[in-house]
Each structure stands twice: as C-alpha cells, then as structure tokens.
C-alpha cells in the first residue's frame, strides 16, 4: 500500500498535468478509518456497480486491521490503495484521493456501507446527459416504497444547514452534509 509522502504542492502539480481519461467514466474515492468489518464487502459492491471505474481507497491511519485486510486488494487492476501514516481526517483522505483521480466524474463512497453503489447510475446519469454539473446524494429522499427516515435531532441540524445553504447560495439541497 502506498504511503502518502512528498510535498502537497508537488502532488497537486502532478495531478493538474494528468488529464481525465476519455474512457474512464468514474473514480470512486473510498476514505476509510477503522472499517475492517465493512470495507471488503463495500469494495465488492463498488466493483460490481456499473461503469468503467477507478477505485481509490485511502486508509486514514486505521488501527483495527483494515490495512491488513486491504492488502488482499493490492494489485487489483481497478483498485488503488493509499495510506496515511496517521489519522488526518476524512477531508484529508478525500483530498488525497482527488489527487490521484483519473475518471471523468468522481464519487465519494464511505467505507461503512451507508450508501449503495447500485445508485451510481442515478448520480452519474444527469452528468452524462449534461443535465447537471454536480449531483449530490441524499439520505433523506426516499425511493418509491422505501422506508421513511425518522425525524431526529441530527435530521433537524441537517435541515438547518440546508436552509443556510439555500439562503447563502440559492442552492436547494435535502442533505447538505452528504459528500458530492
């Protein structure tokens, strides 16, 4: 597994010179921290999902066996494994993944199975058709016949953030805390 080293500026410059692949539709960045119980199944589901894809797993200093489990994915043609020596946070893991992304579009896929990779077409479709420039997933929009989310304190906090985003930027979101 490649450990992140070198200057941040050098990596950004290298990334800027690397054009997005014409054939590679999707990069899936999977930031993980202590996800030994779910990351293996998650990677199987991501790889089974539609689209030609690059999967970048960034381990953010896990200490629970995640690193050892990920070693079995070493050498998989669609999976790139990166590792932070110590925990730097989800945002740092995402930024590290973005520096290596080569797909036309990028999805952030949490390592805990909260999001379903089979939803990738619903996210990528509006981008491919030119209908949207960015698509945000939402944990609060329900599918036909799907279970309704209970109103909780967390949901109220997300609603407050959504209102702020709408007032400040004019963007209507249902789950501002979800990654783009």
Q: Is the pLDDT of residue 17 over 70?
A: no
Most confident of 5-14, 90-99, 121-130: 90-99
CA 108 to chain CA centroid, Å, is: 1
Q: 52, 78 in Cβ contact below 8 A?
A: no
How far is the C-alpha of 33 from the C-alpha of 89, rounded, in Å? 9
* First-residue to last-residue Cα distance in the chain: 26
* Per-residue pLDDT tens digits for 55-86: 999 999 999 999 999 999 999 999 999 999 99
The angle formed by the CA atoms of residues 157, 37 and 150, to the nearest 5 degrees, is 30
* pLDDT, position 5: 42
> Domain map of the chain by residue range?
2-128, 139-180
Quickly state the pLDDT bin for 114 (edges 50, 70, 90).
confident
For residues 120-124, average pLDDT: 90
3-state helix, strand, coil in the chain (%, to 5): 40, 15, 45
Least confident segment among 54-58, 125-129, 156-160, 176-180: 176-180
DSSP state of 84: E
Q: Model pTM?
A: 0.71
How far is the C-alpha of 151 from the C-alpha of 135, rounded, in Å? 24
Looking at domain 2-128, its CATH architecture is Alpha-Beta Complex (3.90)
Q: What percent of the chain has pLDDT over 70?
A: 72
Q: Work out the mean pLDDT of the chain and round it to a whole number.
A: 80
* pLDDT, position 91: 92
Quickly state the pLDDT bin for 173 (edges 50, 70, 90).
low
* pLDDT, position 178: 56
* Per-residue pLDDT tens digits for 137-169: 665 555 554 444 455 666 777 777 768 777 877
Q: Is the pLDDT of residue 179 over 60?
A: no
């Amino acid at each position: 597994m490649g450990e992140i080293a070198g200057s941040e500026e050098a990596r950004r410059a290298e990334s800027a010179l690397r054009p997005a692949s014409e054939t590679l539709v999707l990069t899936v960045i999977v930031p993980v921290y202590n996800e030994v119980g779910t990351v293996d199944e998650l990677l199987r589901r991501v790889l089974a999902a539609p689209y030609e894809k690059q999967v970048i797993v960034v381990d953010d200093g896990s200490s629970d066996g995640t690193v050892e489990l990920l070693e079995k994915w070493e050498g998989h043609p669609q999976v790139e494994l990166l590792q932070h020596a110590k925990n730097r946070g989800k945002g740092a893991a995402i930024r590290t993944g973005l520096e290596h992304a080569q797909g036309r579009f990028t999805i952030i896929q949490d390592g805990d199975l909260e999001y379903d990779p089979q939803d990738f077409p619903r996210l990528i479709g509006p981008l491919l058709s030119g209908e949207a420039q960015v698509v945000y997933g939402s944990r609060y929009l329900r599918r036909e016949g799907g279970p309704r989310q209970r109103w909780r304190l967390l949901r109220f906090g997300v609603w407050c953030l959504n209102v702020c985003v709408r007032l400040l930027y004019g963007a209507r979101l249902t789950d501002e805390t979800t990654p783009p």
